Structures are given as C-alpha cells and as structure tokens.
Amino acid sequence: MKQKFVKRVCRDLGRMSLVLIVFLVLWQIIITVWHISSPFAPSPLEIGAALSSSIKTGELTSDVLVSLQRALTGFVSGSLIGILVGILTGRVKLIDHTIGQLIRLFRPVPSIALVPLVIVWLGLGEIGKYALIFWGVFFPVWINAHLGAAQLDKRIMWAAQSLGVTRWRGLYEIVLPSALPFVIAGMRTGMAVAFVVLVAAEMAGAFGGLGYRIYISHQVFRVDKMICGIFILGVLGAISDVVFAAAVDAIPWRRGILEDSHAP
C-alpha cells in the first residue's frame, strides 16, 4: 500500500511539475520577445527572485506553516462534523426536517460574507479563521454525506435490524461504509474550499499567512510577491489534492467497496 501511494504521488507531482515548467518557460519567452518590462507584469525570473528572497528571510516558511495549520484545522473539523450531520440527516427524518432544513437555509451563504460578523464576534484571533474555514468545508462534505446516506436501500437496513443490529449501530456499520464514496468526494471538494476560504480569512485580519502576505504586497505594489504567494497557494492546494487522492486510491478496502457497488 505504501509503495502504491508513493508511486501515485510521484507520478502525479511529476506530471504537474512538467506542465508548470513548460508554462513558466512560455511565459518567460513572451516577456522576453515582446520586451515587456513593468513592475506590474513581472517575469518568472523576477518572481523566482522574490521567492528566493522570501525563503532566505524565513518569511515564506513561516507563512506556509501558519496557513497550512489554519487550513488543516478547519478542514478536519468541518469534515468530521459534516460527515456526522450528513449521515444523520440522510437517515433520520426528524433530524433532516429540522436541522437539515436549517442547514439548507444557510448553505448558500458564502464564507466571505461572514467575515465582518466573525471579526465582531470572535475578534482577529485564530478561532475566527478556523470558524470561517470550518463553514466553507462543512457544506460540501455535509451534502455529499447526506446524499450517500440517503441512497442506501431501506431493505438493507431492515434486513440488518431483523438480525439484531440497532438503528444507531447500523448508521456506523452499514450506512457510513455505503456512503463512503460520496464522503470522499465531499472531502476532496472541501479541501479545495479550505484554501479558498483561507485567503479570505487571512486578508480580513491576520498577522501572518500566505493570504496576509498577498494583501500586504498589494499595499506596496509588489506584484512579484503577490504572484509568488498565489503560486505557492496553488501548489499547496494541488499537492494536498494529489496526496489525498493517492491516499484514497491506496486504501485496501476501497477496491472491495467499488466491487460490491458494481455487483449485479
């Protein structure tokens, strides 16, 4: 399993790196051929110089670690609660008709709309940033877990209950495994959303992180640093997605679930 995981990650990251290198080379060629020289349209070499400077000062390392901590905390908490609530609303009608309706009411509200309210209620500390990322991650995970739980044939649960399985035990041992492909899809979407919301949270009041650094660079017209931060965010998001997909693909039970789902 470990060998399969490493092989998948190396393969996908290698392809991604190749495409990125080609893109940067073409960008540099266009800048050179057309003699574009402007602080508002930096070349890849100038962006690379800004990246190197940030690494030497330790600024980049600090920002990356802070942003990853915020994104991971919001992602894990949002995913866990989203899965739990999604399974419950998908199988328990009373919960779906009460809490589920409330969730559907708030689901269209974007995280960025809550920024002023979060600052007023929770201040500029880390809790507010975690809350915003949690909000963004929760809904895609919840809707997928809900749909996955709801699609399970009622006759399977009836058969399990006839064999002595309680309703709540059935949610864990039958409903959750059945909904797992949906849950994984929701978590993968939620991971991307976590990085999107992270930038909004850090721009709205932070003292570190990639979003904060992009915002500060904008204030002093350092477009090279802005693009550098954007690239780093994209790379982190892409690496997270590749690692997550490879981890899911390497899990032994995944094959059994897929085979069962396609069985006649």
Give the per-residue pLDDT at 49.
95
Contact 74, 197 (CB under 8 A): yes
Lowest mean pLDDT among 91-100, 156-165, 206-215: 156-165
Give the per-residue pLDDT at 154.
84
Report the chain's mean pLDDT, rounded to a whole number: 90
Q: How confident is the model at residue 153 (pLDDT cuts 50, 70, 90)?
A: confident
> What phi and psi values does residue 53 have, to the nearest 5 degrees?
-65, -40
Rounded Cα distance, 192 and 203, in Å: 18
Instruction: Reply yes or no on whether the pLDDT at 39 is more than 70.
Output: yes
pTM of the model: 0.90
Determine the straight-line distance between the first and last CA of the chain, rounded to whole angstroms: 28
Do you know the residue count of the chain?
A: 264
Contact 197, 67 (CB under 8 A): no
Q: How confident is the model at residue 254 (pLDDT cuts 50, 70, 90)?
A: low
pLDDT over 70, % of the chain: 95
Rounded Cα distance, 67 and 60, in Å: 10
Query: Maximum Cα–Cα distance for the chain, whole Å?
Result: 77
Contact 223, 201 (CB under 8 A): no
Rounded Cα distance, 141 and 190, in Å: 6
DSSP state of 97: I
Helices (H), 34-97: 44-57, 59-91, 93-95
Give the per-residue pLDDT at 1.
66
Contact 88, 169 (CB under 8 A): no
Give the per-residue pLDDT at 155.
87
Give the per-residue pLDDT at 264.
40
| Domain map (residue ranges) of the chain | 54-261
Rounded Cα distance, 263 and 71, in Å: 38
Rounded Cα distance, 122 and 201, in Å: 12
CATH superfamily of 54-261: MetI-like (1.10.3720.10)
Instruction: Reply yes or no on whether the pLDDT at 192 is more than 90.
Output: yes
Render pLDDT for 47-82 as a digit per residue (tens, 0 to 9): 999 999 999 999 999 999 999 999 999 999 999 999
Instruction: Reply yes or no on whether the pLDDT at 151 is more than 70.
Output: yes
Q: How confident is the model at residue 259 (pLDDT cuts 50, 70, 90)?
A: very low
Give the per-residue pLDDT at 161.
83
- For residue 24, the one-letter residue type is L
Residue 117's CB is within 10 A of a number of other CB atoms, namely 12
**Which residue did the predictor score with more confidence, 264 or 201?**
201
Lowest mean pLDDT among 29-38, 47-56, 157-166, 178-187: 157-166
Contact 246, 12 (CB under 8 A): yes
Give the per-residue pLDDT at 200.
87
Give the per-residue pLDDT at 258.
44
Render pLDDT for 203-250 as a digit per residue (tens, 0 to 9): 877 788 999 999 999 989 999 999 999 999 999 999 999 999 998 887
Give the per-residue pLDDT at 252.
67
